[in-house]
């Protein structure tokens, strides 16, 4: 059977890392696409030349034409601009919305059967716009945010508890921004919920609150350190986990920015929720029970996403 075709739209920091990971994990053959001439070709060649050393079988090719993504099984979109220090993800909206239009049209024309994972920020609004511009079914277009935000939370918790990151599970809901909702009640060390660990004296509520806040600010912390761009290793790893869930029909339960219509009382919008990812794309949105505090935090986050969507509609009235 032919190897899956993975099209990476955007060959910048995240795109290059995605290509490297997809090759090392042998998820399929990679097309690295960018408007910048030479960048996708150079990165593809460089990564391909690591193949004999790493021992992977995958072809990598750079492209500047959407025709080259034809028939892709998975498209991962990072095209656009990242933020610089002092910018919020929302500051990117105007520029990246135009990029989503051209990317969506390219996917619509050349890869209409793909599973599409959007990474471009501001995430929840961009994935919504990309789904509209591409015209693909909503279950085949998702945003990567929750896996990354949960990954940041899990990392900080594993350091606090001095336990393996593998044993820390975490849940983060809502929009990919300052209002995201890390759910401590549903986050555990090997099944022991965080509130129990506070009671057991493993940490204090104050320290846990500080970790929650650091998770919310996780992207900005890295932007502040890098100064020239935003995080790329963890975002790429997170999207690869989602792509793998689709390609291998793993039925993973992962938090994604998915189209929610009915669950959480929402009427048709993209926001971060737990989903089952498998060969059908988003096969299910998991509607977990929230207490009043959690629901209030989620409502605030949903309002922030709605504000971004309204801003997109004001810029491009073709968006419904
Ligand atoms: N079509 C295709 N590629 C484009 C387009 C476009 N219309 N516009 C810009 N690009 C390309 C740029 O040429 C660049 O190579 O997108 C790439 C973006 O790469 P980086 O600037 O390195 O950004 P990166 O760190 O990869 O982040 C990309 O993901 O996490 C988000 O906020 C981040 O929105 C940003 C995106």
Verdict on whether the full-model pTM lies above 0.95:
yes
176 is catalytic: yes
Task: Please tell me the total number of residues recorded for the chain in this structure.
Answer: 320
Strands across the sheet containing 141-143 = 60-63, 29-33, 5-9, 74-77, 115-118, 141-143, 252-261, 267-278, 281-285
Binding residues for NAD(+): 10-15, 34, 96, 119-121
CB 256 within 8 A of CB 143: yes
> Which residue's alpha carbon is nearest to atom 36 within ligand 1?
120
User: Who lines ligand 1 at CB under 6 A?
Assistant: 9-15, 34-36, 39, 78-83, 92, 96, 99, 102-103, 119-121, 229-230, 232, 235
**Burial (0-12, 13-18, 19+ Cβ within 10 Å), 210:** middle
Spell out the per-residue pLDDT of the chain, length 320, in tens. 899 999 999 999 999 999 999 999 999 999 999 999 999 999 999 999 999 999 999 999 999 999 999 999 999 999 999 988 988 888 999 999 999 999 999 999 999 999 999 999 999 999 999 999 999 999 999 999 999 999 999 999 999 999 999 999 999 999 998 899 999 999 999 999 999 999 999 999 999 999 999 999 999 999 999 999 999 999 999 999 999 999 999 999 999 999 999 999 999 999 999 999 999 999 999 999 999 999 999 999 999 999 999 999 999 999 98
Round to whole Å and give the CA distance between 262 and 125. 19
């Amino acid at each position: 059977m032919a190897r899956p075709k993975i099209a990476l739209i955007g060959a910048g920091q995240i795109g290059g890392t995605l290509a490297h990971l997809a090759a090392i994990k042998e998820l399929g053959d990679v097309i690295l696409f960018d408007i910048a001439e030479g960048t996708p070709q150079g990165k593809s060649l460089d990564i391909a030349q690591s193949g004999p050393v790493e021992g992977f079988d995958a072809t990598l090719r750079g492209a500047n034409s959407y025709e080259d993504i034809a028939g892709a099984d998975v498209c991962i979109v990072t095209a656009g601009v990242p933020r610089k220090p002092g910018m919020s993800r929302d500051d990117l909206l105007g520029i990246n919305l135009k990029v989503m239009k051209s990317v969506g049209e390219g996917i619509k024309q050349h890869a209409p059967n793909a599973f599409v994972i959007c990474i471009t920020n501001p995430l929840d609004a961009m994935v919504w716009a990309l789904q509209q511009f591409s015209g693909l079914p909503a279950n085949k277009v998702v945003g990567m945010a929750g896996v990354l935000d949960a990954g940041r939370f899990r990392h900080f918790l594993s350091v606090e508890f001095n336990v393996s990151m593998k044993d820390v599970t975490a849940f983060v809901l809502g929009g990919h921004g300052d209002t995201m909702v890390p759910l401590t009640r549903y986050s555990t060390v090997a099944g022991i919920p965080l509130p129990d660990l506070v009671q057991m004296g493993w940490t204090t509520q104050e320290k846990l609150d500080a970790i929650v806040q650091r998770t919310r600010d996780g992207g900005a912390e890295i932007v502040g350190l890098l100064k020239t761009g935003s995080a790329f290793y963890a975002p790429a790893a997170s999207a690869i986990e989602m792509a793998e869930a689709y390609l291998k029909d793993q039925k993973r339960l992962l938090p994604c920015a998915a189209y929610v219509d009915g669950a959480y009382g929402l009427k048709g919008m993209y926001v971060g929720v737990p989903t089952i990812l498998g060969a059908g794309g988003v096969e299910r949105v998991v509607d977990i029970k929230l207490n009043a505090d959690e629901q209030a935090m989620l409502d605030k986050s949903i309002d922030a996403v709605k504000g971004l969507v309204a801003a997109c509609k004001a810029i491009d009235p073709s968006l419904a």
